Chain A
Amino acid sequence: MTDLIIAILSTIGVIAILIAAIGILRMPDFYLRLSVTVKAATLGSGLLLFSLAIFFPQVSVTTKAVAIGFFLLLTAPVAAHMIGRTAYLIGTTLWKGTVRDDLKGMYDKDSHRLSSSNKDVQAKQAAAGEGPDQAG
């Protein structure tokens, strides 16, 4: 019974990581690649760690697996956020099929401060003597 659970869990985990790897190759733009990779890899390694914890009866292995899983869950989204933000700031282009981009024109070009609504941006541009950005 335990063997069966371990087999199923680790297989699903490995398949998730495999799909993440294929996703890196196949996805059309950077953000989609990031989106596919981070989550599937976290899920996959989490499942592998979980089956590891079931396989070894020692308490020390279980606590280590739980701790590693916890820190993976805690740090992976932060890393994805920072990479995505940097990519947007340096102007990585979105895929041509992108239907909506609310982030466009929201960053202050010099200070990289992010405003929360369009009104702020337009007010700032009017104060700086520019008209509202037509492309935005």
Chain B
Amino acid sequence: MVKQFLMNLLLAFIWVALTGSLYFSNFYLGFLLGFFILWLMNRNEDDQRYFNRVPKIIGFILYFLYELVKANLQVAYDVITPRFFMQPGIVRYPMAARSDFEINMLSTVISLTPGTLIMDISEDRTVLYIHVMYLRDKDQFIRQIKNGFERRLLEIIR
């Protein structure tokens, strides 16, 4: 896993050195080409985790950006128009994330989405308290986070 990632980075830097232009776009192109070469070389190996994980990470970033833009538009509309449509509330969210890193990533992602804010994490690290701006239905909100951010994040980390 780490070995393949380092190999991929090395291939990307070789591509950058050979083409001679150190731009980020060129680096990404080199990274993609390196990924393709590594995938070709390792396609009969047992350990396919790295090749499953990279597309999932890209998918997660795109999903996060989509959620970010959607929630930002909702909040911006509420700020600009004179009437308030929000129904704020603090929700108790039992999380499946266990290790420090998982909890950190999950709370960062939830905090960065507009309309949701982490208030605190319980002492035994099983429950997040989330301040939500648009709380239509508590169970639906919990399901949305569970199937959206948490499932995707844990698929990548574990």
A binding-site residues for B, Cβ under 8 Å: 15-16, 19, 22-23, 26-29, 31-32, 34-36, 38-40, 42-43, 53, 57, 59, 62, 66, 73-74, 76-78, 80-81, 84-85, 88, 94-95, 97-104, 106, 113-117
Q: Which residue of A lies closest to B71 (CB)?
A: A39
Contact of B117 among A38, A43, A94, A102 (CB under 8 A): A38
B binding-site residues for A, Cβ under 8 Å: 22-24, 68, 71-72, 75-76, 79-80, 84, 86-92, 94, 107-108, 111-124, 126-127, 129, 131, 133, 135, 138
Chain B's nearest CB lies how many Å from the CB of A114? 5
List residues of chain A with CB within 8 A of the CB of B129. 102-103, 106, 114
Q: A23-B75, A39-B71, A39-B75 are in contact. List 6 more A-B contacts (CB 8 A).
A: A35-B116, A36-B114, A43-B72, A59-B23, A62-B23, A81-B119
Determine if B88 and A97 form an interchain contact, defined as CB atoms under 8 angstroms apart. Answer: yes
Q: Which residue of B lies closest to A16 (CB)?
A: B72
Q: Which residue of B lies closest to A19 (CB)?
A: B76
Q: What does DSSP make chain A's interface, helix, strand, loop or mixed?
A: helix
Determine if B111 and A81 form an interchain contact, defined as CB atoms under 8 angstroms apart. Answer: yes
Contact of A26 among B22, B71, B79, B116 (CB under 8 A): B79
List residues of chain B with CB within 8 A of the CB of A99. 87-89, 135
Q: What does DSSP make chain B's interface, helix, strand, loop or mixed?
A: mixed
Q: Which residue of A lies closest to B94 (CB)?
A: A116
Give the docked Cα–Cα distance between A87 and B73 (Å).
27
Q: A26-B79, A84-B131 are in contact. Are A76 and B123 (CB under 8 A)?
A: no
Determine if B88 and A115 form an interchain contact, defined as CB atoms under 8 angstroms apart. Answer: no
